[in-house]
Homo-oligomer: A and B are copies of this chain.
């Protein structure tokens, strides 16, 4: 089948399928006599695997590992689980970071009248001299010398 059909069937755009081939995430597709890429149901199955992994936030390199484990009949589920747990930790960390931002911002926005007057606690916080030490009203202890992430 043509790349457009495979794209619709897998939920991955044709652009991205070509890109994945280019970076070696998937092997080069067969070609028809006229040079069109030709995909089998198996190929589409692989693409769906990739899309699902992508939807779960895995990076291309992680997907590469997962694909290789998927194809390996002698894999150890521990290897898969390790990748998953690692990714969960990554997500947890990014979520925590964003929640910190959100909490701080929500506090500031709450203190801001939001009318036509110029006084604004949000700008006041941003403009604090030595922003490095500006107290973020989060539950995390005072910032260290090195900025987080």
Contact = CB atoms under 8 A, between A and B. Distances in A.
Interface stretch (A15-23, A25-33, A92-100): A92-100
A112 B81 contact: yes
A125 B80 CA distance: 12
Question: How many A residues touch the partner, as a band?
Answer: 35 or more
Nearest to A96: B95
Contacts of A147: 11, 55
5 contacts: A9-B141, A48-B131, A85-B109, A87-B105, A88-B109
Given A51-B134, A77-B114, A81-B109, 11 more contacts: A9-B137, A41-B137, A48-B130, A55-B101, A76-B118, A77-B115, A84-B109, A88-B109, A91-B101, A94-B98, A95-B98
Interface of A: 8-11, 41, 44-45, 48-49, 51-53, 55-57, 66, 69-70, 72-78, 80-82, 84-85, 87-88, 91-92, 94-95, 98-99, 101-102, 104-106, 108-109, 112-120, 122-123, 125-132, 134-135, 137, 139, 141, 144, 147
